[in-house]
Amino acid sequence: MTRRSIAASLWAALTLFVSVGPIRADGPALDRHDGYEGRWVRTPHAQAFIAVRPRFRVLALSRPGEPSLMADAAHPEYGVRLAYMEPTQIDDSFDPGNQPGRFIESTPSSATVQLAASAAAELRYTVHVALDERLPRLRLRYRLENLSDRPRRYAAWSLTSFEPNGRIVALFGAEARPLRRIALPWWTRMPQPGYAFGRRTLAVDCGRPLNGTACKIGLASDTGWVAMVRHGRALVSAAAYDPHAAYPEGGANITIFQMDKPDRRWCEMEQVSPLTDADPGAAVELTETLTLIDLANTPAEPDALGEAIEAAMITP
C-alpha cells in the first residue's frame, strides 16, 4: 500500500469511533500549530489547520503524510488571511481579518468561525470551511457583515501566502488568444525578472529577485483561478467571476503580490469579490476553493505550464 492509501485506511478506521456530529463552541480544547491555536479538519484526502488565536488564519492544507505548500507562520502574513476593499485598499483593510475568532460549530471535516468585530472598519467576518469528502479540496465561504449604521459598498478579499519559492500561475482568460486585462499600481516597477508572459498565461517565479521591494499585478480573468506550483504539486485557488460586476483596483479579480525586504519576504495569490452594496446588517460574500493537484511535468514555458495545470485540475 502507498503512504496515501495507508493514511486513508487509518482515517476510515478512526471515524468508526468518533462522532461526526457538530461540536458547539464550548467543545473540546483547541489544538496548537505553528504558535497558533485552532482545530484541524480532516478527511482521508486532505487536512487543514484552522487557527483562531491570536488571529484567524488557515495555516496548512495538505494531503495526509505530505507537507503543506503554504509556508509556516514565521511571518503573520503567511497562510490564508482576510481583508476588504472599499473600493480600494485602505488603512483599515486588514483589520477585520486580523481578529481572533471563535468556533461556532465544527465537525471532523468542517468548521464555522466567527471573527471578532473590527471596531476600526465596522465589519465582521464569518467563515465556513469544509473539506470535500472525495477530493483534496477545501471550500471556504467568507461572509463580511456591515456593522455600521449606513449603507456601504465594499468587497471581500482573500489572500493566500507562501514562502518565496515556486511559481504563481494565472491565465489572462479562457480563450486561446485572450485580451490581457492587467492592473498595475503606480509603485510596481517594470520589467520584473521573475515575470514570464505567454500567449494566455502569466507565470511568476517567486524565487527571483524583485525590481524594487514589492510588486503587485492584477488580472481580470474569466477563468477565476490562480495557482502556486512547487516540486510537481500545485495549490489552485478558484472563485467565480462575474463579467457584469465591478471589481476593485482596476477591475482585477485575481492578484499576484510579492514582498522582498530583509525581514519580510513572501509571495501571495489573491481573490476578491465584486464591489457590492450592503445595507446595515447585510453582508458581502465570497466563496473560494483551494484544491491540491499533482503535475506530471512543470514546463518552463508559461502557456505549457498553464495547460498542464488545467489538464490536472479536478472538476467539482
Q: How much is the pLDDT for 107?
A: 97
Q: How much is the pLDDT for 13?
A: 42
Total domains in the chain come to 1
Cell 462522532 sits on residue = 19
Q: What is the pLDDT averaged over residues 114-123?
A: 98
Give how far Cα 52 sits from Cα of 59, 96, 286, 300, Å: 10, 13, 20, 38
**Which among 149, 185, 192, 191 has a CA at the least distance from the CA of 167?**
192
Q: What is the pLDDT averaged over residues 83-109?
A: 96
- Taking only the tens place, the pLDDT of each residue in 105-117 is 999 999 999 999 9
Query: 214: domain range?
Result: 3-14+21-312
Q: How much is the pLDDT for 78?
A: 86
CATH number, position 230:
2.70.98.10
DSSP state of 186: T
Q: What is the pLDDT averaged over residues 191-204?
A: 97
Identify whether 28 is preceded by a cis peptide bond (ω within 30 of 0). Answer: no
Cell numbers placing 186? 503606480
Residue 312: pLDDT over 90:
yes
> Which percentage of the chain shows pLDDT scores above 90?
83
Beginning with the edge strand found earlier in the chain, give each strand of the sheet holding 23-24 in spatial order. Answer: 23-24, 101-107, 110-115, 123-131, 137-146, 283-294, 233-238, 225-230, 167-171, 201-205, 195-197
Q: What is the pLDDT averaged over residues 93-120?
A: 98
**Cα 124 to Cα 147: distance, rounded to the nearest angstrom:** 7
- Taking only the tens place, the pLDDT of each residue in 280-292 is 999 999 999 999 9
Whole-angstrom Cα Rg for the chain: 19
Confidence class of residue 28 from pLDDT cuts 50, 70 and 90? Answer: confident
**Cα 222 to Cα 217: distance, rounded to the nearest angstrom:** 16
**Cα 228 to Cα 303: distance, rounded to the nearest angstrom:** 15
